C-alpha cells in the first residue's frame, strides 16, 4: 500500500515571501513523486516530478522540490511567491502495480498569497 | 489541439437519474484516465484505457459506474441511478503510453456533478 500525507491543509503567505508545502509519503517499494497545481475550476497541471537521479527537482513557475528518501518527504518550495500562485497544490506518488502505474494523491494544500 | 476537453463542465441532476460525461483527449494520446475528486480530497483514480481497451476498472466505485472508449478516441463515463454521494468533480486525463503512466498526463477541466 502507499499513502501521501500533506501536512497543511491551508498555507497563507505574504507576496514575495518564501513558501514550503510539505508532503510525506509511505510505500514499501520505490515510487515516483509529483506535484500538481489546481487553479479554481480547473484541472490539474503538472508542476514537477521526481523519477530518479538528482534529488532536487526544478519545475515550472519557479517551484522546486527535494526528494528525501530517509525522511520519505518531497516538500515543495518557492523562494518568492506571487499572487498568481494562489491555488491548491497536490502531492502524488506513483508505483508499478499489476501492469499499470497506481497513483495516489494527497488531499491538497491551499496556498493563499496575501498582497 | 487545445488539450483535454470535458463536457459538460457542470451537471445538476436529480437523485436516481442517469448521467453521462464525455472526455476528448489530446488527439495523439492513446491512454485515457478517469478520476473523481470530492470536496477537500485529492483526485481518486477510477479507471483507465489504452486505446479502446479498458485495462483497469477495479477502482470504479460501484456497478452503477461504467466507462467506454469505443473507438480509442473519446470516452464516456456513465453513472446510473445517481446518489447524492456521487456529487463530485470528475476529471479526465490523457497521455502517451510509456514507462511512467502519469509522466506526461494532461488533465481536463473536469465535470462538476451535483446530485440533488
Segment B49-108, tens digit of pLDDT: 888 888 877 778 789 999 999 988 999 999 999 999 999 999 998 887 665 555 567 889
Asked if B102's CB is within 8 angstroms of A94's CB, the reply is yes
Q: Tell me whether the omega of the peptide bond preceding residue B28 falls within 30 degrees of 0, making it cis.
A: no
Nearest-CB residue to B42 (from A100, A102, A105): A105
Q: Which residues of A touch B45 (CB under 8 A)?
A: 102-103
Of the candidates B4, B41, B100, which has its C-beta nearest A107's C-beta? B41
Nearest CA to CA, how far is A17 from chain B (Å)?
Answer: 26
What is the mean pLDDT of the segment spanning A60-76? 94
Mean pLDDT of B39-51: 88
Closest chain A C-alpha to B107 CA, distance in angstroms: 5
Of residues B14 and B57, more confidently modeled: B14
Higher pLDDT pick, A109 / A94 = A109
Amino acid at each position: 500500500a502507499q499513502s501521501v500525507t500533506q501536512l497543511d491543509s491551508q498555507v497563507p503567505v505574504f507576496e514575495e515571501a518564501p513558501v514550503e508545502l510539505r508532503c510525506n509519503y509511505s510505500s514499501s517499494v520505490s515510487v515516483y513523486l509529483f506535484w500538481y497545481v489546481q487553479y479554481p475550476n480547473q484541472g490539474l497541471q503538472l508542476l514537477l516530478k521526481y523519477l530518479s537521479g538528482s534529488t532536487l527537482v526544478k519545475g515550472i513557475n519557479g517551484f522546486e522540490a527535494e526528494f528525501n528518501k530517509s525522511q520519505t518527504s518531497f516538500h515543495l518550495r518557492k523562494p518568492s511567491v506571487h499572487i498568481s500562485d494562489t491555488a491548491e497544490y497536490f502531492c502524488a506518488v506513483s508505483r508499478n502495480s499489476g501492469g499499470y502505474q497506481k497513483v495516489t494523491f494527497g488531499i491538497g494544500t491551499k496556498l493563499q498569497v496575501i498582497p | 489541439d487545445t488539450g483535454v476537453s470535458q463536457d459538460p463542465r457542470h451537471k445538476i441532476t436529480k437523485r436516481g437519474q442517469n448521467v453521462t460525461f464525455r472526455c476528448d483527449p489530446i488527439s495523439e494520446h492513446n491512454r485515457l484516465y478517469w478520476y473523481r475528486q470530492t470536496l477537500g480530497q485529492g483526485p481518486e483514480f477510477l479507471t483507465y484505457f489504452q486505446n479502446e481497451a479498458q485495462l483497469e476498472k477495479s477502482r470504479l466505485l460501484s456497478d452503477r459506474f461504467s466507462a467506454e472508449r469505443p473507438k480509442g478516441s473519446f470516452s464516456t463515463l456513465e453513472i446510473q441511478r445517481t446518489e447524492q454521494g456521487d456529487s463530485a468533480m470528475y476529471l479526465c486525463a490523457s497521455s502517451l503510453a510509456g514507462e511512467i503512466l502519469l509522466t506526461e498526463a494532461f488533465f481536463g477541466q473536469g465535470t462538476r456533478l451535483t446530485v440533488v
